Structure 1
Amino acid sequence: MNNFNFYSPTEFVFGKDRENECGTYVKKFGGSKVLIHYGGNSAKKSGLLDRVKKSLENSGIAYCELGGVQPNPRDGLVYKGIELCRKENIDFILAVGGGSVIDSSKAIAAGVPYDGDFWDFYSGKRIEKALPVGTVLTIAAAGSEGSGDSVITKEDGMFKRGAGSDALRPKFSVMNPELTQTLPAYQTACGATDIMAHVFERYFTNTTEVEITDRLCEAVLMTMVKETPRVIADPNNYEARANIMWAGMVAHNNIVGVGREQDWNSHGIEHELSALYDCAHGAGLAVIMPAWMEFVYKHNIMRFCQMAVRVFGCNMDFENPENTAIAGIKAFRRFLHDIGMPINFAELGAKEEDIPALTEKLGLGDGKTGGFVHLSSEDVSQIYKIAAKATL
């Protein structure tokens, strides 16, 4: 196990009706005037936004609003949010929504106290300070409610890039599983896929002797394999929703990734898909992750065997372990198909002829990327080609 620091200061406020306590927690963490940041009309129609406002009012906290966050959140709205916060002397940002809303909120939070262009942070500059952020989570997926990460799409060129800093970790996150019960099955499945991908990016590592985090990763993955079909079959299954919501946070606050080298190639490769086609991030990951696995599994066949046996219950072929590794990858792709996810370019709405453009936009040039296996531009192109033609 490698040396590590782990800092996760977020207070998680979990359970039914907890959104009614937002005002208490904003006040606890020093907020006096809040920007409520949200997406479309669902937060309004469901009454969630009104409940949040009432809670703030009951605590004597002023607020203004900025809606309109899209999936794959755009830099244009971030700039608008930064300007609004400065004009209104906002000192706390409350994200009401899923990962896109939270990511946009974090970008605004980083941009307000910064003299330059917030996009500098998504081009490699370190984030030193940010306004405090709180969240009211409505989709179990990105894990942004517990992480210091944010991903934003630059509209000029449609580049999707990430930034990360402990300064962006939410001060508190309200997690009421009931708020996810109205999600369409497709969005639920996309979220589940994203959660699993966050774990796999940490699970496939070159670091040895990491049994504790291996087992934690496997526990989250097995939970998703069990609970996702249950919520697809019964969207109102509160207990299954609760397990998935907590799994999403655990998957990405890095408790399952400490002390080990991580990869994140699949996320980088997928980002170009969702930037170009504006598809759901989880759907893109469902296409890319198994294709990446097929391309790299020979680098460490026994780690893929471990995944196959422990997570998907495959039988271990001791005479030919490669059979077990391949069986595990197939089991993962079958699981994704069964919960309603696309498994190839055609099902996603992507085009094979766009592979050169997708590869170029990743920006590797003659360089390489990744932790588990270092990939060149040609390697990435091959992964896209596998993804384009994938079958069960």
Structure 2
Amino acid sequence: MFATISQNLTQHGIRYVEFGGIVSNPLLSKVREGIQVAREHQVDAVLSVGGGSVLDSAKSIAAGTLYDGDVWDLFIGKGQINAALPVFSIMTLAATGSEMNSGAVITNDVTREKFALHSVHTFPKVSVVNPALMQSVSRDYLVYSAADIIAHSIEGYFTAAVQPKIQSRLVETVIATVLETTEMLLKDPGDYNARAEFAWASTLALNGLTYAGTSGFSYPNHMIEHSLSALFNVPHGAGLSVIMPAWMKWYHSQNPTQFARFARTLFGKGTAEEGIAALEAWFDKIGTPTRLSQLGITEVDMPAILENLKGNTRWFGLAETYTQETLTTILKLAL
């Protein structure tokens, strides 16, 4: 694929400099390196070819290149994004929805903090979402991606103070599509139509459509998972498939009507508890983890996770709700 892209750029007279080496759970050190390269070569735009980690790095480089200071300032509220280089993307993995939103999540590899930036300036100008370019995605990353999309969908669905029914129906359609197409792709990775619907579900889950008209929502599952992947470098989706069932078991009594709806609509179950169990069973069925122990994380690691979460709860604005005691309860449910 890169050879084709390189040839096309050259044929159209577009000069470029290659910058590779982006890893899953992308690192601040690499973003800083990319900013230096962009400035040295006076680049006019950033083209991301890859999945969400590559695109999040591209957005961060695009913003950091035009920022007069350290790019980490933009993640911790010390600086503001007033401009960014144009970002373009060619997606090879569907999971994060980064192709149609402004967010970028980066891990500080010194402090082990995993934070995000958002700005109107970091929306991609053009994103190519071609299912044919996603055929080589491994089985593991397919199921991790499914968990990631579901997590994007349920955060607001369960936590929003205002959640119109039409928005709930949109979320349920996205999740139902993921449940269906994931199993289709596990049976036949070459199913173009299934992969196309899976990719579109990924985009819709976090492009703002499902959150339109809602308010008062939060992202507790992502908040907790960010500590797991920052400390232990676990795949983001794998961490989410562990945290979601545990969080749901703790939280469902705070929104029983919506949890009952979830159980009934998506799994044909009669109670909230049965719906949670059904989702957890589905994660087990497709082969994505549902226990911290499956990630090599034990109770011995709890103090480090809880310490890291102090920064996350402040960053997400959830410190009053998610106390150390509450987080301990949720993490123990995930063991």
TM-score, structure 1 normalization: 0.82
- Counterpart in the other structure of 2:84: 130
Give, in whole Å, the separation in 2 of the partners of 1:105 and 1:209: 33
Instruction: List aligned pairs for 1:259-274, cutoff 5 A.
Output: 259-260=213-214, 261-274=216-229
SS at match of 2:99: coil
Q: 1:155 to 1:366 in 2, by over 3 A?
A: closer
SS at match of 2:47: strand
Question: Of 271, 284, 299, which aligns to 1:337?
Answer: 284
Question: Of 42, 66, 81, which aligns to 2:19?
Answer: 66
- The structure with the largest helix share of the pair is 2
| Displacement after TM superposition at 1:173 (Å) | 0.4
Question: Of 97, 109, 115, which aligns to 2:50?
Answer: 97
- Counterpart in the other structure of 2:310: 363
- Counterpart in the other structure of 2:211: 257
- Counterpart in the other structure of 2:265: 310
Q: 1:312 to 1:49 in 2, by over 3 A?
A: same
User: Residues 122 and 163 of structure 1 are in contact (CA less than 8 Å); yes or no, is this contact kept in structure 2?
Assistant: yes
Amino acid corresponding to residue 302 of structure 2 in structure 1: I
Q: 1:270 to 1:365 in 2, by over 3 A?
A: closer
Give, in whole Å, the separation in 2 of the partners of 1:369 and 1:113: 26
| Displacement after TM superposition at 1:375 (Å) | 1.7
The RMSD of aligned alpha carbons is 1.7
| Displacement after TM superposition at 1:157 (Å) | 2.4
| Displacement after TM superposition at 1:126 (Å) | 3.2
User: Residues 95 and 146 of structure 2 are in contact (CA less than 8 Å); yes or no, is this contact kept in structure 1?
Assistant: yes
Structure 1 moving runs of 4+ over 4 Å:
364-371
Q: 1:127 to 1:282 in 2, by over 3 A?
A: same
- Counterpart in the other structure of 1:39: none
Q: Which runs of 5+ in 1 are unaligned?
A: 1-47, 317-323
| Displacement after TM superposition at 1:73 (Å) | 0.4
Q: 1:366 to 1:288 in 2, by over 3 A?
A: closer
Identity of aligned residues (%): 40
SS at match of 1:227: helix
Task: After superposition, give the CA deviation of every residue in 1:197-239 in whole Å (9 maximum; x if it has no partner).
Answer: 0011121134345112111111100101111011011111111
SS at match of 1:145: helix
1:380 aligns with 2:335: no
Give, in whole Å, the separation in 2 of the partners of 1:233 and 1:379: 40
User: Residues 39 and 65 of structure 2 are in contact (CA less than 8 Å); yes or no, is this contact kept in structure 1?
Assistant: yes
Task: After superposition, give the CA deviation of every residue in 1:300-346 in whole Å (9 maximum; x if it has no partner).
Answer: 111100111112221x3xxxxxxx00001001111111111011011
Q: 1:160 to 1:233 in 2, by over 3 A?
A: same
Give, in whole Å, the separation in 2 of the partners of 1:220 and 1:369: 25
Amino acid corresponding to residue 310 of structure 2 in structure 1: G
Number of corresponding residues: 332
Q: 1:93 to 1:313 in 2, by over 3 A?
A: same
356-365 vs 378-387, greater mean Cα deviation: 356-365
Give, in whole Å, the separation in 2 of the partners of 1:198 and 1:119: 24
Give, in whole Å, the separation in 2 of the partners of 1:174 and 1:355: 41
| Displacement after TM superposition at 1:259 (Å) | 2.1
TM-score, structure 2 normalization: 0.95
Give, in whole Å, the separation in 1 of the partners of 2:313 and 2:286: 38
SS at match of 1:305: helix
SS at match of 1:204: helix
Q: Which runs of 5+ in 2 are unaligned?
A: none
Question: Of 345, 348, 352, which aligns to 2:299?
Answer: 352
Amino acid corresponding to residue 326 of structure 1 in structure 2: E
Instruction: List aligned pairs for 1:187-198, cutoff 5 A.
Output: 187-198=141-152
Give, in whole Å, the separation in 2 of the partners of 1:366 and 1:123: 13
Give, in whole Å, the separation in 1 of the partners of 2:7 and 2:285: 41
SS at match of 2:255: helix
Amino acid corresponding to residue 307 of structure 2 in structure 1: E
1:87 aligns with 2:40: yes
- Counterpart in the other structure of 1:228: 182
